[in-house]
Amino acid sequence: MPPATPLACAYRKMSALSASDDIDQAGWESYALTTFRQPVEQMVQHIVQLLTQAGPDEWAHTVLPIKPVPIWRKSVLPRPGAN
């Protein structure tokens, strides 16, 4: 794990960085990345339903009604009133 240098700390205050997979390392204090947890079980259920009940023409035009869950950490702070 890289050390928290003064330059890294200053950069963290000026930047915003987020990730889309919420891996364990994102929560390490030296990174503290805001992430978006993907609802994998819900995604799989929708995909299985598409594969078993819809045809290939529908697959290409389907948007899954999935909402990732934000995990707020230090790299990006939520706006007041955001969940």
How many structural domains does the chain have? 1
- What distance in Å separates the CA atoms of residue 19 and residue 30, rounded to the nearest whole number? 15
pLDDT for residue 2: 53
Asked if residue 81 belongs to a domain, the reply is no
Residues of the domain holding 58: 6-71
Q: Strand order in 18-19's β-sheet? A: 18-19, 34-37, 69-71
List, for residues 31-57, the tens digit of each pLDDT value. Answer: 888 888 888 899 899 889 888 887 777
Asked if residue 36 belongs to a domain, the reply is yes
Asked if residue 78 belongs to a domain, the reply is no
For residue 13, pLDDT beyond 80: no
Asked if residue 54 belongs to a domain, the reply is yes
Asked if residue 77 belongs to a domain, the reply is no
